[in-house]
Copies of this chain bind each other. A is one copy, B any other.
Amino acid sequence: MPKAYWGEIKDPVHGYVYISEAEKNLIDSYPMQRLRRLRQLAGSEYVYPGANHTRFEHCVGVMYLASKVLENPNISSLLAEDEVETCRIAALLHDAGHGPFSHVFEQLLIKDLEKTHEDITSWIIEKSETGDKLSKMGFKPKEVADLAVGKLRKPGRAFLNQIISSGVDVDKQDFIVRDTYHTGAEYGFIDVYRLIHAMDVLGENLAVELGALSALEAFMIARIESFKSIYFHRVGRAAQIMLATAMEKANSELGLTAFKTPEDYLALDDYTVWAALKKCAASKGIIADLERRRMLKCAYERTFYEKDTMVSNIFGRESYRRQMQTEIAKEAGVSVESVVIDVPTVPSVPYHHAVLMESMEIPVFTRSQNGEKTLQRLSEISKIFETLKGFMNILRVYTDAAGRDEVEKATAKILGKIPSTAKISF
């Protein structure tokens, strides 16, 4: 509960979330309210009809879980009161910079502006009305902006960043349980309270006590299974590719990445962009397909394990991907346009592979009878961790329903016949 209790929000996942007046002021402002019109899992609703939750409730949930970490006696004993409130607010605002359809838009951001949604988040927090609000209420906008994306430079305070952005951050904890709740995919049950209760600070880093190893392993597995079942789902990816393509095609007309001010950017949301794409000649066909669930079809799929990271690097390069698409299209006798190679390690993917690997390096420790804490290497302790490290790359070739068979044959010829074992439909 915040020191200055103002009221509460009922969340279907976490129950009552108690908020302060400052938090209420931020929540009831345009930049936060806009997140109600940004789907958390754009595209996944074509797989899981219940997946209509938004960045708004996720942000409230992240603030809630951050507050649970901040109430853990191991952590709270290290903190001044203003640090607690700053951290809660940074958690609340951590996704303020997301664009329409969340990660789908990020692909354009990176390509056209070399910016991630985190860059935009910091910018929004500092430069939009949010910055003014924060100043007036006595917070430092720059500090909140940095902390919200895990980049606060404050001596001895790395763990504050890690609460919001690290291998076991509350962002991941919230989206795993929330995505499971609203999709109904039954892979994301994790004991967040056990995880959070087992947290402590070693040096200046957030670490997890090994008594909670099962909860930690369950968390890592839930993440992987969520990737396979939700974020990397074949049909969900198809929808995201279609949306991304529509936005790319319409960009010159709609100026989606031509924003100059925070206000310009914040005018973009799922509703306005969907309505615009529907009218724009360049994109209306794709939207018409989505509105009839005429999805791109997967003509080829292969999953690579850790040794094959090279492959994903190759396909991650647009120029090479383009070249392969051309070859396959030629072989199949279809237009290049209609062939899409998808490697969910490129940044268009909701939660990309790079993060997947790095995040595994979670500091863990044992506590002796006399209270002494000893850092351990998770890889020496958990075989499951070792296995999951750098787990999964997926290579897929999508095309439209008409050309599916031809593209399947062409791809098999060019990329090598897919071994039957790899044709797994998760």
Q: Which residues of A contact B (CB under 8 A)?
A: 1, 5, 8-13, 15-16, 27-30, 33-34, 36-37, 45, 47-50, 52-54, 56-57, 60, 73, 181-187, 189-191, 193-194, 197, 210-211, 213-215, 217-218, 221, 225, 228-229, 270-272, 274-276, 278, 291-294, 305, 366, 374, 376-377, 380-381, 383-384, 386-388, 391, 420-421, 423-426
Contacts and interface: CB of A to CB of B under 8 A. Distances in A.
Nearest to A1: B73
Contact of A182 (B12, B190, B425): B12
Contact of A197 (B8, B182, B213, B291): B8
A180 B254 CA distance: 39
A37, A45, A50, A420 — most chain B CB neighbours (10 Å): A50
A149 to B, nearest CB: 23
Contact of A28 (B33, B228, B293): B293
A218 B187 CA distance: 7
A340 B31 CA distance: 28
Contacts of A229: 214
10 shortest A-B CB distances, which residue pairs?
A: A12-B184, A275-B275, A189-B189, A49-B57, A12-B50, A387-B387, A186-B191, A28-B293, A52-B52, A271-B271
Contacts of A52: 36, 52-54, 57
A31 to B, nearest CB: 10
A374 B60 CA distance: 33
Contacts of A73: 1, 5
Contacts of A374: 420
Contact of A291 (B33, B292, B293): B33
Contact of A10 (B1, B183, B384): B183
A5 B181 CA distance: 26
B214 A218 contact: no
A218 B229 CA distance: 12
Contacts of A182: 12, 50, 182
A171 B33 CA distance: 31
A33 to B, nearest CB: 5
A311 B214 CA distance: 24
Contacts of A185: 10
A44 to B, nearest CB: 11
Contact of A391 (B29, B210, B278, B383): B383
A56 B60 contact: no
25 contacts: A10-B185, A11-B50, A12-B182, A13-B50, A33-B291, A33-B293, A49-B56, A50-B182, A52-B52, A52-B53, A52-B57, A187-B191, A187-B214, A210-B424, A210-B425, A210-B426, A211-B424, A211-B426, A213-B424, A214-B225, A214-B228, A217-B225, A221-B221, A221-B384, A387-B387
A213 B214 CA distance: 21
Nearest to A190: B186
A114 to B, nearest CB: 29
Contacts of A183: 10, 12
B384 A30 contact: no
Contacts of A272: 274-275, 278
A53 B50 contact: yes
B210 A16 contact: no
Contacts of A13: 50, 184
Contacts of A190: 186
A28 B291 CA distance: 9
Contact of A292 (B28, B57, B292): B28
A293 B214 CA distance: 25
Given A186-B190, A278-B272, A12 B181 contact: yes
A210 to B, nearest CB: 5
A49 B9 contact: yes
B45 A36 contact: yes
A337 to B, nearest CB: 23
Nearest to A17: B49
A426 B36 contact: no
Given A12-B183, A210-B425, A272-B274, 11 more contacts: A13-B50, A30-B291, A49-B54, A49-B60, A50-B53, A52-B57, A186-B189, A187-B214, A218-B221, A381-B421, A381-B424
